[in-house]
Structure 1
Amino acid sequence: MTIQFSGLATGLETGSIIEQLMNVERMPIARLEADKTWLSNRLSAFTELDSKLKSFADGIKDLNYRDTLLQRSVNQSSTETLTASVSREAHTGANYQVEVVALAQVQKSVSSGFAEDARFGTGSLTLTVGENIHTIELEEATNSLQDIMAAINTADLGVTAAIINDGTEAPLRLILTGADVASTFSLDDSGLTGGTTSLGSFNLDDGTGTIINPPIQAASRAHIRVDTIDIYSDSNTLTEAIPGVTVDLLKVREGETTTLNIGLDKGSIKATIEAFAKGYNEVMSFISSQSVIDQKGGGILGGDASMNTIKRRLQNMLTQTTPNSGVFSTMSQLGFETQRDGTLVVNDQTLSAAIDNNLDSVVSLLAGEEGAVGAATQFKDYLFAMTNSGTGMLSGKKESVDNNLKRIDTRITSMESRLEQRQKTLESQFSAMEMLVSGLNAQSSYLTQQMDSLSNMMNYRRR
């Protein structure tokens, strides 16, 4: 490592001078770094624009198809026994009378109480689940109630076991629960011998038709009647009983019916159309924030041709005529009104009247019909093309920015290498200057000494 003492001969701060000269030399690199920041900020802005375009596209996807636009609703006379929800497959104008006869439930069996130190002998327990028979072997070291519970759960035959403590003198009870309504089961302990107590059998015919320890809750399927037609299910949620309607059963009320009326959800239809204006406005507001207006404002994308092209395209699609068989041909007829800043407001009265009086024409305008592309479909297709991950606007911008950043980095690396050599050259030159000045100073000092000696000799002779 070279140690340099700056300005010892000249008195100049050569280290500071070199630093300042190098700062001047580095100014082009500083400009390149600023260019990198500018490019990165532009890419961030394009990414934000892409996000708003995607959000707009997602918000209008339900306008693109007739079925998704015409959302259904269900009105029920009571919510005491069931609740219902509908999808677009439900038939509008239909009504159904639904009676809840039985709820789906799994089998549950509970043992009598046992002491915590109870042991149940050795041998085999037989667990029968439907047609499946499983034998559980108990030994001296594995015949506690906890061991039996673990063995049943490990068997994984559609029955789970648990233990509860009821707080009595014999507090432990074994609870067996079927996995589903089809899992009827029995447990036979006749294969056990010895032990301090008997486990007891569950739901087992003693041979005379009497059930030993019957379940506290028998397995049963859900049973409803829809317009007097009996329908059964293994679940209390029925999705296929009524087309497009999901019915969740809550309580049995045999002989009592709940009326379900299926209609169009005009409130949701209206909200879906209004969502178009929200997505459109978010895009336009972002573009306006980037634009210079009356020589004021402006963002990093101000003046960008691609951004302005998007703006003009969206505005043109908003005002163009969309041929169809209905009474509406432009978005403005649905109540969309353009403001001076380019955003939209929706005239609630105009939109409500269009939905109430000419809903089919609203759908034809937005979703299209055979041989005619709807206005919302045109927006959706354009937005999807612009936000395509491989060929969209952001993809092209990112590739261009990445290429420019690579070129700048290459130039910076080259310039840094050259400046490193330049700094070494300056240091050598100033070091040489210091050595030269130091030599001259030494000569000057020597000559001064010689002149002083000569002067002293001459003065002596004169005396």
Structure 2
Amino acid sequence: MSVNSIKFTGLASGLDTQSIVDSLMSVQRLPLNKLNQKKQILEWQRDNYRTMNAKLKEFDTFIFEGISKQANMMKRTAVSSNKDIVSVSANANAGTVSYNISGVTMATAAKIQSADKISNSTIDPTKSLLSQQSKLSDQTGISWKGEDFSQTLIGKGDEITLNATSLSGFPDEITVTGGTNKTFKVQIIEGDAPDEANRDKVTPTVYVNPATGKMTFSESLAENTTVTVENLKKNSYIEFDIQTTNEDGTNNKQSFKIDGSSSLNTMFSKINSSNVGVSMFYDTGTDKVVAQRTATGNLNNGDEIEFSGTDANFFTDALKLSVKTAGTDAEFTINGLKTSRKSNTFTMNDVTFNLNKNTTVGESVNVNIQTDTNSIFDTIKSFVDKYNETIGAVNTELTAERFSGFQPLTDEQKASMSEKEIEQWEEKAKSGLLKRDSILTTGLDKMRNSLYASVTVNDTTKTIEKYNQLAEIGITTSRDYLERGKLEIDEDKLKAAIEDNPEAVYQLFMADGPTSDQQGLARRLRTNVSDTMKQIEEKAGNTFKTQYNYTIGKDMLRIDDDIESLEYRLKQIEDRYWAQYNAMEKAIQNLNNQSSQLSSYFAQNS
């Protein structure tokens, strides 16, 4: 430990050395405080710039998503006199026209349904296909594929368990030999077999649970009975293809592989959610299955749905799908022209029609396509409101009062103030940091000029003389100078312009020419906003830039270097003060010691 690091706090002199040094250093630290205040002001200024950039970016995005989209500015409203029969919608390119529709016969979809009931006792479509197979009235040709687990067992009593679980593909009958010679009808079950009193005593039956492999016989087997189960499968499945015909005459074919543990509902769900374009369901009331095309119209004279592949007979035989009904085209008369469509939904001249119900004799529907004036007006009004909000925020920064007497507080100053006092002080210290800022002022002037200047009329801009300035559609600058360039709308004049020529109003904002005078007002604004944002980023950066990449950041780095150098010098000065006061304390201590010795000497001689 050096001598200078030892601090004597007035032991000899009686002085409050610490307070004296602190007072001396507080004066020495004034330049350091000013540097820290300067750095704090730069940080606040940087943050204010970034807040302005966020406002400008928000405005730019608002323009892009609103007034710049033709769908918003050329919106059409389609009105049907009877939506129950014909409902309509129109896109931005639809003309202002009227249609009369009569003689509507809706298109229907082709379908195939079961010719008769498919089961002896109504099947449960929520249970596995294997467990319900025995209930099907026709099982011709159903052959489950999978791993072969055929086996022979020796047993007795009414229960025998197979040497595997999760089995499938059981034969219809099991023959036992040896102690008992008899053929048992197989009945697939889920869970436990019926108790002995409820088992089939007329027809020898074996109840098989494929999940556990347990076989329960309706009567006991004699000792040493041989049970042979053939064609037993594990992980069984069936395979088939479905082919449909598309409106253009092409075919759409898809292959399916259905596990035996899947239910009928699960199989139909897989088919319905596929891209083959078929919707299937089982009706427990009629015990029939229906397969229907999702597309309407006569697509292949009744052969719009075809089942093929290895196990196609599951549909044609087991589900008895053989009764075919061809789809029919929609027929109607529009403005006196009798025509047809494959679908009940079709588009004509950028208007989409939906046929919802057949008309009766003499019944007709009128459809009117008009400019959606209110919607377009709302889009433009929203743009004006956002513009006013944006320039209002910028003007607030440019005109805020600067309180030069309120500098950033030091830590010592904050320590003696309440939180409310600190908040009020810093509110004034932060005010006016961007007052009369050249970047924002220039950017705001360009935005105003872009809106006030007319758009050149030519084939490129697609504008017209009648509507090539903002004032001509009823949007002007507020006469109140305190509003600092905010816009006002003459609602009646703007709506009249929209109804008169919505295309010209749209081009006034979004014309796309090679020069600024040939560009629409909103397009110019986006260019001005983009240029201003770039300048702000060069000065204040963004969250992705380091301090080395923007002007204020570089200034803050230089201040950091100055602070580091000054703190080093201040440490040396403080050490010097303490060294001087330590020397003084030592000198006083030596003097005190000498005085004490002299007093002692004189006392002894006297």
Q: Same fold (TM over 0.5)?
A: yes
Stretches of structure 2 that go unaligned for 5 or more consecutive residues are 128-188, 192-207, 211-230, 243-252, 297-303, 404-427, 458-463, 542-549
Q: For residues 123-179 of structure 1, what are the alpha-carbon distances to aligned partners after superposition, in whole Å with 9 as ceiling and x for unaligned?
A: 4442423155555576xxxxx5579969x979x977999x99x9xxxxxx9x99999
| Contact 1:326–1:361 (8 Å) recurs in 2 | no
Name the CA shift for 1:429/1:347 in 2 (closer, same or farther; >3 Å): same
CA–CA separation in structure 2 for the residues paired with 1:29 and 1:104: 85
Q: For residues 198-234 of structure 1, what are the alpha-carbon distances to aligned partners after superposition, in whole Å with 9 as ceiling and x for unaligned?
A: xxx853246xxxx52789xx9998965574544346x
Q: 1:261 aligns with which of 368, 380, 391?
A: 368
Name the CA shift for 1:252/1:93 in 2 (closer, same or farther; >3 Å): closer
Q: Which residue of 2 aligns with 1:112?
A: 123
| Contact 2:72–2:376 (8 Å) recurs in 1 | no
Is 1:333 the counterpart of 2:472? The answer is: yes
Is 1:430 the counterpart of 2:542? The answer is: no
* Cα deviation, residue 304, structure 1: 0.9
CA–CA separation in structure 1 for the residues paired with 2:595 and 2:367: 116
| Contact 1:326–1:364 (8 Å) recurs in 2 | no
Q: 1:126 aligns with which of 231, 235, 238?
A: 238
Letter in 2 for 1:316: N
Q: Which residue of 2 aligns with 1:400?
A: 551
CA–CA separation in structure 2 for the residues paired with 1:7 and 1:107: 110
Is 1:281 the counterpart of 2:414? The answer is: no
Q: Which residue of 1 aligns with 2:565?
A: 414
Q: Which residue of 2 aligns with 1:37?
A: 40
Q: Which residue of 2 aligns with 1:203?
A: 315
CA–CA separation in structure 1 for the residues paired with 2:113 and 2:588: 106
Stretches of structure 1 that go unaligned for 5 or more consecutive residues are 139-143, 167-172, 192-200, 458-463
* 3-state secondary structure, aligned to 1:387: helix
Letter in 2 for 1:242: M
The root-mean-square deviation of aligned C-alpha atoms, in Å, is 5.0
Name the CA shift for 1:95/1:119 in 2 (closer, same or farther; >3 Å): farther
The farther-off stretch of 342-351 and 92-101 is 92-101
Q: 1:346 aligns with which of 489, 501, 505?
A: 489
* Cα deviation, residue 94, structure 1: 5.5
Is 1:231 the counterpart of 2:325? The answer is: no
Is 1:302 the counterpart of 2:305? The answer is: no
Q: For residues 323-372 of structure 1, what are the alpha-carbon distances to aligned partners after superposition, in whole Å with 9 as ceiling and x for unaligned?
A: 43422443223222322222222121222333344556544544448798
May I ask how many residue pairs the two structures share in their alignment? 421
Name the CA shift for 1:137/1:268 in 2 (closer, same or farther; >3 Å): closer
Name the CA shift for 1:23/1:294 in 2 (closer, same or farther; >3 Å): closer
Identity score, percent: 22
TM-score (norm 2): 0.56
| Contact 2:107–2:342 (8 Å) recurs in 1 | no
TM-score (norm 1): 0.70
CA–CA separation in structure 2 for the residues paired with 1:322 and 1:335: 16
Q: 2:94 aligns with which of 87, 90, 96?
A: 90
Higher helix share: 1
CA–CA separation in structure 2 for the residues paired with 1:426 and 1:450: 36
Name the CA shift for 1:116/1:353 in 2 (closer, same or farther; >3 Å): same
Q: Which residue of 2 aligns with 1:460?
A: none
CA–CA separation in structure 1 for the residues paired with 2:580 and 2:42: 39
* 3-state secondary structure, aligned to 1:128: strand
| Contact 1:75–1:261 (8 Å) recurs in 2 | yes
* Cα deviation, residue 91, structure 1: 3.5
CA–CA separation in structure 2 for the residues paired with 1:280 and 1:421: 57
| Contact 2:237–2:259 (8 Å) recurs in 1 | yes
Q: Which residue of 2 aligns with 1:15?
A: 18
| Contact 1:6–1:13 (8 Å) recurs in 2 | yes
The farther-off stretch of 72-81 and 368-377 is 368-377
| Contact 1:8–1:434 (8 Å) recurs in 2 | yes
CA–CA separation in structure 2 for the residues paired with 1:69 and 1:294: 41
* 3-state secondary structure, aligned to 1:262: strand
